[in-house]
Structure 1
Amino acid sequence: MKFFTNRRLTVLFFFIVIMIGLSFNSCQELIKNKSLENKKTEATKQEVKTNQNEAKLLVMLSKDNQDVIQLSKSLQKIVEKDTVFKLAKKIEKAHLEIAKEFNTVATNKLITIPNHSELIIEEITDINREAKLNALNDLKSKIKNQLYLLNKLDETTNSKEFKQLIVKADTKINESLNKTKNIISNLKSNS
């Protein structure tokens, strides 16, 4: 009888040791799974945050782009057939192309962007040099802000689609800025 009691105790002892070992192993697997799940959750949160930042920057870019178009149209109204008119027409055309590209990317990314300017422009009746310079400086400011926002978007995004958009838009916006600066310097030097 003593043998069976000891044997039962021995079997019970080994059974308990095996169960404890399996429990520790199961706990380690649960910890690994939980850690992996936390990493996936964090990666998803980071991706959502990046997408939100991309969308916010694209909306801001689009607003500024619409403002540039509106300013260009306004400039065209106050000047008839001089270099400022031609510049404003070219800038308007370039920024309309940029707007199309913004809309394409926004549609693909399910982002809603504005398609009109909220900028309130006072009608300029006096078309003197000072009025032209003020309008051109406003235009230059908006274009510079677009370049700043493009740079922020470039730092934020890993999206191939956004990277391609940035390259296209950056070139056109820099051309618009250079044209605007040239006209401003011409107007200043002609006075």
Structure 2
Amino acid sequence: MTPPGKMKDRIMKVFKKLNLKMIFAPSIVAAIGGFAIGVIPPIRKVFIEDGAPLRVINDTDSLLGGGAIPTVTLIIGGNLLKGLRGSGIQTSLIIGIIIVRYVALPLAGVLIVKGVMKLGLVHSDPLYVFVLLFQYALPPVVNIATITQLFGAGEKECSVIMLWTYVLASVALTFWSAFFMWFVS
């Protein structure tokens, strides 16, 4: 057994190595706070329910949240515009990412979903299975671009990758939608 002093030193070393600013980013703190407000009944009564004294905060959140989708659309547009300028990424790297994203990942998704269905962890509702499978074929999310912008690393590369994955998304999503519809029927 380790003496308490050594254990404390080890824990302090771990906390010093962790970047707590990154771990407790505003979005994560907001998600944890929102979860707590929604799950804990006394807090829920104060913020969310009809006639709650602090319901104005919930209404304000809803109003601000309504602007999130147009904002994300602008961010995608800005990133795709940066991707048009290029960044010196090798073409083979882009092709490799696209193959993994639109071929290997959906095929892995089929195996994973089929496996969890055989184990009985997922019921076989066709719409539910289709949505599970479809998640594997979607293009990369905007959060990746936001993170690269936040840390200032790989912005141009991320923009080029997003550009080409979104350009090919219509073809890939059409194919995989048809395949997944066949698979669940």
TM class by smaller structure:
under 0.3
Which protein is richer in helix relative to its size? Answer: 1
Give me the TM-score of the superposition, normalised by structure 1.
0.27
Structure ID, larger Rg: 1
Q: Which has the higher contact order (CA 8 A, sep 6+)?
A: 1
